[in-house]
Amino acid sequence: MTITKKYTLFQEQILEGIPHKLPAKKAFPKNANRAPIRKDILSIDDKKLAIRNALRYFPEEWHEELAKEFSEELRDYGRIYMYRFKPDYELYARSIDTYPAKIKSAAAIMLMIQNNLDPAVAQHPEELITYGGNGSVFQNWGQYLLTMQFLAVMSDEQTLHMYSGHPMGLFPSSKDAPRVIITNGMMVPNYSRPDDLERFNALGVTQYGQMTAGSYMYIGPQGIVHGTTITLMNAFRKILKENENSRGKIFLTSGLGGMSGAQPKAGNIAGCLTVCAEVNPKAAIKRHEQGWADILIDNMGVLVDRVNVSKENNEVLSIAFIGNIVDVWERFYDENIFVHIGSDQTSLHNPWSGGYYPVDLSFDQSNELLKDDPELFKKKVQESLRRQTSAINKHASRGTYFFDYGNAFLLEASRAGADIMADNEIDFKYPSYVQDILGPMCFDYGFGPFRWVCTSGRSEDLDKTDEIALNILREIKATAPKEIELQMNDNIIWIQDAKKNKLVVGSQARILYADAEGRIKIATAFNNAFRSGKISAPIVLGRDHHDVSGTDSPYRETSNIYDGSQFTADMAIHNVIGDSFRGATWVSIHNGGGVGWGEVTNGGFGMLLDGTKESEIKLKNMLFYDVNNGIARRSWARNKEALYAVKREMERTPGLKVTLPNIVEDDLLDALYE
Ligand SMILES: NC(=O)c1ccc[n+]([C@@H]2O[C@H](COP(=O)([O-])OP(=O)(O)OC[C@H]3O[C@@H](n4cnc5c(N)ncnc54)[C@H](O)[C@@H]3O)[C@@H](O)[C@H]2O)c1
């Protein structure tokens, strides 16, 4: 690898790992968006244990000084982040050749880690949190430094094992093995209550990796824009009459954070009038400045006037509103503003630690209360959820189509005692977007959020990959059955307009929903394109964990499974093991992510396409399993779209033979219990 002079210091620092000399304490960067202060949950003995755990990363002669500092971090922030060890160099996805690694796959992983910590991408970069309020890449800067050092020195016959951000170390393996195995938050099942996370995370022995944060596969809000666009377009298809379009029709929602920040942009692409409330002014301003929302309003009266004018003019517009979503739902009802589609993307997977801010308190007041009186804060959150639900119910009685967008809104509202249950007292009043839209229309056919990153960092490479993907989708569409025509069309439009929609934040990355056939053909073409010099550097392939096979989550990804198995996690576990020996460059499996700790098991992979024949064999093997595992499980659960898809796949892939369900008539069962 050529080492350019410009980056020598950066490379040296990576190779050094934990610095030989104790670095000086640092000030926080101006305007840093800091993580909320976590609950003070540890006993005195636990606090000593947390500090003892943190000090094991450092030589004894530093212990006295660091012990005091870490105890202060624990007191002031509820966690030990080891701020002093944050490196001086900038964190962002550099071009792959810049990393001081012995092997390209390790350099690619370093690039992806740095992308996840880039302040333009990450929500709370000082605390190593990428998105979702607590989606961590590492628990502390010591782990970051050691991991980068391990990656720099590893060979292609070693595997790095990551325990919730902690690099356990390099172990001998083989060329065909994954280079990194990641687990995040995996607990003995009885220890997955929300307070267990707080305690064990504060002790420094586990972390919440969310989905793509802890697996280094987050690519900024673009990753979610596509899914949100598909969801919104299909939601409008459900409610609009044939001669109507979505212009000037209101989509009301909340959250302008890591993923929720994608909503206004998706609203623009879907062609509606989006109102997105956000309590944290910094988050709202950041998204507006990045061009993800058209206008910023911080006054309710101004908002009401603007929405009325925009409705009147059938505008396609996205409004970032600085304020609490509960106020907007209530005020819009009082003002007779009809909301066509409603949803919510506050971080309710993390309700008691700053994921949801209660109404009637300012953002700063909420943060104070969270620190000083967590019990009262919890009460306020629950009160607020009851109020929000009651306002949504009133809108729904006027005809609003409300759906849960996978943030555990329905679940937490029900736990707060809100009027959210259906008459049968088992189901919720409102569907999740997977039950109504993504499950039957995408996942059951194998369509999911495939993504790639151009490791050169050059936008020209991204343009070429977009063009390759577009041509392949067009080819597939020419002979595709009518069952998947809609998906093919939506995805072709998406990739055609992707550049125009300016979706890139951080690395040169692209997201595209595709099925197994599409993913394999596109990946093969990328591999060939690098081999032939059409693109200038290898491609990293991956996906969101929120996909066909990677995630078991009864209130989200698997909420449209109705055979009782939605509470099992066999699919996600099979997936990570299956992907790992079929060629993934790295694999990950997490507890939590999306809907919350203990509520979901989710996994993902990363794969480097380096232009070789081996890469081609691996991608075909692994991507096929990575999609069809989930289709098989969904078809066994009797989902008719998945049954169709798996039968079609078995016809064209002789090696695939899955167990198919026999369908029982309702009458036969009803007669048994008459
Ligand atoms: N199903 C999916 O594909 C999907 C996609 C995106 C996000 N999600 C879920 O949505 C949630 C949000 O994700 P994120 O990455 O954007 O999290 P985030 O924490 O970065 O953003 C949430 C934002 O909501 C704001 N907020 C909290 N309470 C509010 C209130 N009462 N009124 C207005 N704003 C409020 C917060 O200030 C924060 O900026 C998570 O639970 C995530 O898992 C699901």
Ligand 1 pocket test target in 121, 263, 278, 321 with most atoms within 8 Å of CB:
278
Model confidence over 156-179: pLDDT tens digits?
A: 999 999 999 999 999 999 999 999
Provide CB contacts within 8 A for 188, sequence distance 6+. Answer: none
Provide CB contacts within 8 A for 256, sequence distance 6+. Answer: 263, 264, 276, 278, 280, 283, 284, 286, 287, 292, 293, 320
pLDDT category at 290 given cuts 50, 70, 90 is: confident
Do residues 348 and 389 make contact, with C-beta atoms less than 8 angstroms apart? no
Model confidence over 662-671: pLDDT tens digits?
A: 999 999 999 9
* C-alpha–C-alpha distance, residues 609 and 638, integer Å: 36
| Predicted local confidence at residue 133, as pLDDT | 87
Q: Which atom of ligand 1 is nearest to the CA of 544?
A: 3
Q: Is the pLDDT of residue 272 over 70?
A: yes
pLDDT category at 209 given cuts 50, 70, 90 is: very high
Nearest CA to ligand 1 atom 7: 259
**pLDDT mean over 395-404:** 97
Task: Name residue, tokens 């555990």.
Answer: 408
Model confidence over 460-511: pLDDT tens digits?
A: 999 999 999 999 999 999 999 999 998 899 899 999 999 998 889 999 999 9
Nearest CA to ligand 1 atom 27: 356
Handedness of CA 125, 276, 315, 262 (dihedral sign): positive
Ligand 1 pocket test target in 208, 263, 346 with most atoms within 8 Å of CB:
346
The reply to whether ligand 1 has any atom less than 6 angstroms from the CB of 579 is no
**pLDDT mean over 185-211:** 96
The amino acid occupying position 270 is A
pLDDT category at 242 given cuts 50, 70, 90 is: confident
Q: Is the pLDDT of residue 141 over 70?
A: yes
Nearest CA to ligand 1 atom 39: 257
pTM of structure: 0.89
Q: What percent of the chain has pLDDT over 70?
A: 99
The amino acid occupying position 261 is G
Look at 31-35, 181-185, 648-652 and tell me which has the smallest mean pLDDT. Answer: 31-35
**pLDDT mean over 260-283:** 95
pLDDT category at 258 given cuts 50, 70, 90 is: confident
Task: Name residue, tokens 């996994």.
Answer: 603
Model confidence over 347-368: pLDDT tens digits?
A: 998 899 899 999 999 999 999 9
The reply to whether ligand 1 has any atom less than 6 angstroms from the CB of 227 is yes
Tokens at 341, concatenated: 């589609």
The reply to whether ligand 1 has any atom less than 6 angstroms from the CB of 100 is no
For residue 252, what is the enclosing H or E element? strand 250-254
* C-alpha–C-alpha distance, residues 220 and 121, integer Å: 5
Q: Is the pLDDT of residue 126 over 90?
A: yes
- DSSP-based three-state secondary structure for 636: helix
- β-partners of residue 432 are 404
The reply to whether ligand 1 has any atom less than 6 angstroms from the CB of 437 is no
Give the pairing of strands 166-172 and 509-514: unpaired
Strands (E), 266-383: 273-278, 295-297, 317-322, 341-342
Look at 427-431, 486-490, 603-607 and tell me which has the smallest mean pLDDT. Answer: 486-490
pLDDT category at 406 given cuts 50, 70, 90 is: confident
| Predicted local confidence at residue 6, as pLDDT | 55
* C-alpha–C-alpha distance, residues 121 and 188, integer Å: 32
261 C-alpha to ligand 1 centroid (Å): 8
**pLDDT mean over 525-548:** 98
pLDDT category at 132 given cuts 50, 70, 90 is: confident
| pLDDT averaged over every residue in the chain | 95
- DSSP-based three-state secondary structure for 601: strand
* C-alpha–C-alpha distance, residues 286 and 305, integer Å: 24
| Predicted local confidence at residue 462, as pLDDT | 98
61 CB neighbour count, 10 Å cutoff: 8
**pLDDT mean over 305-319:** 98
Q: Is the pLDDT of residue 4 over 80?
A: no
**pLDDT mean over 127-140:** 95
Handedness of CA 376, 381, 387, 393 (dihedral sign): negative
Provide CB contacts within 8 A for 563, sequence distance 6+. Answer: 636, 637, 638
**pLDDT mean over 412-416:** 97
| Predicted local confidence at residue 16, as pLDDT | 96
| Predicted local confidence at residue 3, as pLDDT | 45
